[in-house]
Amino acid sequence: MPGYHVVARGVGQVPKVSIPDDAGLPQDIIDRVEEDNRTPRDQVHFEHVPGLTRESVIPGWSLTVSDDVGTEYSGVDAGAYDGLSGGATTHAVREIGGKVPIQATKLTLHFVPGHDMTGRAWHPPEPWIRELVIDLRSGKPVS
């Protein structure tokens, strides 16, 4: 994003969500949350630098994932970020569409620019990383 960097921090399991008994949610939402809790899946943690504010134009991007053992990832890349405080960084997560198997030794994240909040396609300024390969044994990027 112009004026921003997105820094990948790691891959970890999506936490389970608890629903209080008195939440008053419709049953279909409760069923979906319970199903999500039964399905292990991973997410990428990253930071927006500098942190996002209410005035930030946040261009969308998509993420596809592959690994060295041929796991099928669903293409779901839903995510969220922690507020709009404008601090030094804003933490965010993005689901990768599945669970990385223990047999995998490399995980590849493919990034594709999307649209900004006004619906216009955007093109990141060069240079930008289109693919990040992570050595899962060391947790470090592969050059």
Phi-psi region at 56: left, alpha or beta (left = phi > 0; alpha = psi -120 to 50): beta
Greater pLDDT, 125 or 47: 47
Residues 6+ apart with CB under 8 A from 97: 41, 64, 65, 73, 74, 75, 76, 77
Write out pLDDT tens, residues 24-47. 899 998 898 898 888 889 999 998
Among the listed residues 126, 53, 134, the one whose alpha carbon sits nearest the alpha carbon of residue 96: 134
Sheet holding 42-49, edge to edge: 5-13, 42-49, 90-95, 79-81
The model's pTM is 0.78
Whether 143 has a pLDDT exceeding 70, the answer reads no
